[in-house]
């Protein structure tokens, strides 16, 4: 997941002014999104181990039901690659218990219904804010792991090797073997499909880049499949090797959509194992949907904001209905939603249009879909997986900071080695350990203390009193939203007393600034001038590091002042403070009278190395001759000068 973008400022994008023009843009965008969504729905279904029609049902139900309940105008609801791992895991576990493929599918549907009901409760209980809890790097690691899992499963299908089964790490290890055993004709379609998917976005011509790459893949793959007689069951010989061909390499869809509807088998909910998948469906699906909806809000040209609780309620209702009919779980899907915006959509009518187009196509042309080679759909999923786990994603996280990379990789490995929930939990624990290492108190991990200055003349100033980290972001955010959005104030967040401000909070503050700008308000961040950044990245973790220095105080007579200062400078010391003073000399004999002597006190803040050199000089040369005295103290020092990346966060709304 990349950095959030600010909304497009008003005036930068020409908006359609008449109803007919807006209607035309929505209908046109809905049709183009349909061209992208249909092959993805089919591919996600097959990769999930369920009939191809399941994803189609989900897209239809999501587009129609969510349009009635959610106030999200531009998000497209449907099956997503990120949930393939969960659905396939549930189906395989039920099959491992002795149920056949159809029974396992129906039991997965029961899991989907139960998780949909839980999502409805999430919406009613207003838990949409929980999407703000998870640390950014752990979420990115989760998505990258999902991408690798998709690649590990679908690469074999793309080269025509259909018999490789197992866990993700085992599937990855079998890729070289599958390349050696590949079916040449199937692999040719898969390879050309990947070339189109990766190559088309690189074209310089704008009109070429606007062509849906997925639809180009489908058309090319169908033509090649027809030319190479994929539908004719049998074998062909190439290079003294015999390879199979037949309908097992083509998408299978029912001729009658009504007859394809499948009811859940609620006996699954009597099994304890099923509730693990219910929890995964509900939590991971809700999290992905909330994150996607929030990201799309930042791209809305009209700066509208989705009610996340209402959207979660809509997702829950739609998931319950879709699973009851035989569909996959759905989320707010970011790729299709982004295409929706790019194609000019302005209202939810575009999403409804995309769903109706899918319904009409599948109901009227099922034979057409049956001609699509599975290798083409697998190539689309490999491409999707690559985008989730792109090397650029690793480089981006590494640029933010080494600790963020450790959290990212820990989550990724945890997911690959265990499952999604345990993997994200590992990422959260690693993040907690870093905070504890940097002396974040336990009591500050989940609570935040703030001082608020609220005056009618100026902005509301919120001063944090403890570290600002991902786990206490929700209460901090609620304070900012209350005094800003609810009371309609400009807000200044002063972080000068937070000795740790982590990457997640930095990123979320930036995103929140965009929300304030969209409402005609200003959110300013202050107090980071003395903090050190973990990296050069402007959203990196900031820490108030108090460097240990030595304060050397020398009491010396006026005759030796310049000599001592000159030697301090030659050793590499910097500035010093000189204070004239009077020293009272108390004699050893009681009869002698006290006398006052004029001295100079020189205070030097420097390193331990220079202090040792100065003490050596004073003890050997200056002190014996003049009876000087010196004291040494270890202190903390802060320079409040300009720091790179410290001031750049002050005016993000103007510069990013």
**Same domain flag for 242 and 206:** yes
Residue 416 lies in a domain: no
* Res. 656 pLDDT band, cuts 50 70 90: very low
Instruction: Tell me the residue length of the chain.
Output: 656
Q: What is the pLDDT of residue 542?
A: 93
* Res. 643 pLDDT band, cuts 50 70 90: very low
pLDDT tens digits, 206-224: 888 778 888 899 999 999 9
Residue 376 lies in a domain: yes
Residue 639 has pLDDT above 60, yes or no: no
Q: CATH number for the domain including 589?
A: 3.30.70.120
Higher pLDDT, 514 or 651: 514
Q: What is the pLDDT of residue 20?
A: 66
Residue 141 has pLDDT above 50, yes or no: yes
What is the C-alpha separation between 46 and 189, in angstroms, rounded? 17
* Number of domains into which the chain is organized: 3
Work out the average pLDDT over 596-619: 84
Higher pLDDT, 106 or 654: 106
**Same domain flag for 117 and 200:** yes
Q: What is the pLDDT of residue 363?
A: 87
Residue 1 lies in a domain: no
Report the first-to-last Cα separation within the chain, whole angstroms.
18
Residue 98 lies in a domain: yes
**Same domain flag for 181 and 328:** yes
**Same domain flag for 314 and 463:** no
* Res. 650 pLDDT band, cuts 50 70 90: very low
Q: CATH number for the domain including 469?
A: 3.30.750.24
* Res. 546 pLDDT band, cuts 50 70 90: low
**Same domain flag for 482 and 336:** no
H helices present in 492-648, as ranges = 503-518, 561-570, 608-617, 623-626
What is the C-alpha separation between 35 and 253, in angstroms, rounded? 18
Q: What is the pLDDT of residue 25?
A: 84
Work out the average pLDDT over 616-643: 67
**Same domain flag for 477 and 600:** no
Residue 426 lies in a domain: no
**Same domain flag for 112 and 180:** yes
Residue 475 lies in a domain: yes
- Report which of 622, 623, 576 is spatially closest to residue 603, judged by C-alpha positions: 576
**Same domain flag for 393 and 464:** no
Centre a 10 Å sphere on the Cβ of residue 557 and count the other Cβ atoms it contains.
15
* Res. 381 pLDDT band, cuts 50 70 90: confident
**Same domain flag for 498 and 583:** no
Highest-confidence segment of 93-97, 161-165, 332-336: 93-97
* Res. 511 pLDDT band, cuts 50 70 90: confident
Beta-bridge partners for 331: 78
**Same domain flag for 371 and 394:** yes
What is the C-alpha separation between 291 and 535, in angstroms, rounded? 25
Q: What is the pLDDT of residue 587?
A: 66
Q: What is the pLDDT of residue 642?
A: 43
Residue 89 lies in a domain: yes
Residue 421 lies in a domain: no
- Report which of 235, 268, 233, 231 is spatially closest to residue 251, judged by C-alpha positions: 231
Sole residue written with tokens 């009209």: 302
**Same domain flag for 292 and 339:** yes
What is the C-alpha separation between 95 and 114, in angstroms, rounded? 19
115 and 124 in contact (C-beta within 8 Å)? no
Mean pLDDT of the chain: 86
Residue 484 has pLDDT above 80, yes or no: yes
**Same domain flag for 513 and 577:** no
Domain residues for 582?
A: 548-636
Output phi, psi for 158, to 5 deg: -65, -25
pLDDT tens digits, 297-350: 767 887 788 888 999 999 999 999 999 999 999 999 877 888 888 778 889 999
């Amino acid at each position: 997941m990349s950095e959030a973008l600010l909304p497009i400022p008003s005036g930068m994008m020409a908006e359609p002014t008449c109803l007919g023009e807006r209607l035309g843009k929505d209908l046109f965008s809905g049709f183009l999104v349909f061209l992208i969504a249909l092959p993805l729905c089919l591919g996600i279904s097959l990769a999930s181990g369920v009939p191809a029609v399941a994803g189609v049902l989900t897209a239809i139900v999501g587009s129609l039901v969510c349009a009635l309940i959610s106030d999200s105008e531009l998000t497209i609801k449907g099956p997503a690659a990120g949930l393939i791992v969960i659905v396939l895991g549930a189906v395989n576990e039920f099959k491992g218990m002795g149920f056949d493929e159809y029974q396992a599918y129906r039991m997965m549907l029961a899991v989907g219904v139960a998780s949909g009901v839980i999502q409805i409760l999430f919406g009613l209980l207003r838990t949409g804010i929980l999407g703000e809890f998870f640390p950014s790097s752990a979420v990115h690691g989760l998505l990258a792991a999902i991408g690798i899992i998709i690649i590990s499963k679908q690469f074999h299908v793309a080269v025509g090797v259909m018999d490789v089964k197992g866990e993700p790490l085992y599937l990855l290890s079998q890729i070289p073997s599958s390349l050696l055993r590949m079916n040449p004709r199937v692999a040719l379609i898969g390879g050309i499909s990947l070339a189109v998917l990766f190559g088309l976005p690189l074209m310089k011509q704008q009109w070429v880049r606007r062509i849906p790459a997925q639809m180009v893949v489908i058309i090319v793959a169908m033509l090649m499949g027809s030319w190479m007689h994929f539908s004719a069951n049998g074998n062909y010989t190439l290079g003294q090797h015999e390879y199979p061909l037949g309908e097992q390499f083509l998408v299978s869809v029912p001729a009658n959509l009504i007859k394809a509807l499948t009811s859940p088998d609620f006996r699954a909910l009597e099994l304890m194992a099923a509730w693990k998948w219910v929890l995964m469906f509900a939590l991971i699906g809700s999290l992905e949907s909330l994150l996607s909806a929030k990201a799309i809000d930042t791209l809305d040209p009209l700066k509208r904001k989705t009610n996340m609780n209402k959207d979660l309620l809509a997702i829950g209702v739609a998931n319950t209905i879709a699973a009851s009919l035989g569909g996959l779980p759905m989320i707010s899907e970011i790729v299709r939603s982004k295409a929706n915006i790019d194609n000019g959509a302005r209202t939810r009518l575009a999403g409804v249009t995309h769903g109706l187009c899918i319904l009409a196509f599948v109901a009227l042309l099922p034979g057409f879909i049956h001609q699509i080679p599975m290798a083409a759909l697998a190539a689309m999923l490999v491409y999707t997986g690559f985008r989730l786990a792109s090397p650029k994603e690793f480089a981006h996280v590494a640029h933010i900071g080494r600790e963020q990379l450790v959290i990212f990789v820990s989550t990724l490995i945890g997911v690959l080695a265990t499952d999604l929930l345990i993997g994200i939990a590992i990422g959260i624990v690693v993040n907690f350990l870093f905070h504890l290492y940097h002396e974040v108190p336990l009591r500050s991990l989940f609570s935040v203390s703030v001082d608020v200055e609220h005056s009618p003349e100026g902005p509301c100033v919120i001063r944090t009193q403890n570290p600002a980290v991902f786990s206490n972001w929700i209460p901090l955010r609620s304070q900012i939203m209350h005094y800003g959005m609810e009371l309609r104030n400009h807000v200044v967040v002063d972080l000068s007393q937070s000795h740790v401000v982590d990457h997640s909070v930095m990123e979320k503050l930036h995103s929140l600034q965009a929300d304030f700008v969209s409402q005609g308000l200003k959110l300013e961040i202050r107090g980071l001038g003395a903090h050190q950044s973990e990296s050069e990245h402007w959203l990196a973790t900031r820490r108030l590091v108090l460097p240990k220095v030595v304060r050397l105080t020398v009491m010396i007579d006026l005759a030796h002042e310049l000599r001592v200062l000159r030697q301090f400078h030659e050793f590499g010391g910097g500035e010093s403070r000189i204070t004239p003073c009077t020293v009272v000399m108390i004699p050893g004999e009681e009869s002698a009278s006290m006398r006052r002597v004029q001295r100079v006190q020189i205070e030097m803040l420097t390193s331990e190395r220079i202090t040792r050199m100065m003490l050596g000089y004073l003890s050997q040369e200056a002190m014996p001759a003049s009876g000087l005295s010196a004291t040494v103290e270890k202190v903390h020092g802060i320079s409040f000068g300009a720091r790179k990346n410290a001031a750049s966060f002050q005016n993000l709304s103007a510069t990013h």
